[in-house]
Amino acid sequence: MRKLLNSFKEVLVSILPMTVLILIISGIWAPFTPEMLASFIGGAIMMMIGMALFLFGADISMMEVGERVGNFLVSRRSLKILIIAGFFVGMFVTIAEPDVQVLAGQVAAVSEGSINRTMLIAVVGVGVGIFLVIALLRFVFQMKLYHILIIGYIAVFALSFFTNPEMAPVAFDSGGVTTGPITVPFILSLGSGITSGVRTSREGTDSFGMVALSSLGPVLAVMILGVIFR
């Protein structure tokens, strides 16, 4: 019950100020009609309740499952299992991410179908899957995070000269939407489970950086898609 109350407090602190600000702005510069006002307030209340329940569910399920999966992957002592499981976990968690679904729907609507919604979701998922594997291998082989990030972003900016100009903004946005309420808790807890099995002197901090690497993957993947369909 305490976790549920904490979730409601977090959501209230996050959403209530924004809701009040919008109401103030609308009251001064762009007044709502009574119907719009009722719809907005009702929607804000439902969003608060929904987000609180969602975060509560993620806390008691996704984070624990992610850590257990990480412990399992390390305990198997198999690089093949780590790579295969890491790829599919990253891909399917991303496909389930609501933010990715919203972005893909908006891109498909704005582009009038020229950028396929399903294909974009699949490409973003594959990108996260590949770079989640790279993030997991970083723990195993003790690679430096900044080396991978520097190489990755050099590749991103190099591809930006060759990709379809319409795809470049979509690529960078796709990296942002993968840091949503499903993906982030799961990836962080997965990293925590991995590092607890791979004993290092920096076990506490090594689990960080996975989200940064995972969000780089879809940027590169969508850039490559733009090069192919230019």
Q: Which domain holds residue 222?
A: 76-228
Domain total for the chain? 2
49 and 155 part of one domain? no
For residues 72 and 81, give the distance between their C-alpha atoms in angstroms, rounded to a whole number.
10
**C-beta atoms surrounding 180 within 10 Å:** 19
71 in any annotated domain: no
Counting beta carbons within 10 angstroms of the beta carbon of residue 20, is it exposed (0 to 12), middle (13 to 18) or buried (19 or more)?
A: exposed
215 in any annotated domain: yes
Q: Supply the pTM of this predicted model.
A: 0.80
Q: How far is CA 69 from the centre of its chain?
A: 18
118 and 211 part of one domain? yes
Both structure tokens of 131 = 């770079």
Cβ-Cβ contacts under 8 Å for 57 (sequence gap 6 or more): none
pLDDT digits (tens, 9 = 90+) for 43-102: 999 988 988 888 888 777 777 788 888 888 878 778 898 899 999 999 999 998 888 998
Instruction: Select the more confidently predicted residue: 112 or 213.
Output: 213
**Mean pLDDT in residue range 114-124:** 89
For residues 41 and 33, give the distance between their C-alpha atoms in angstroms, rounded to a whole number.
12
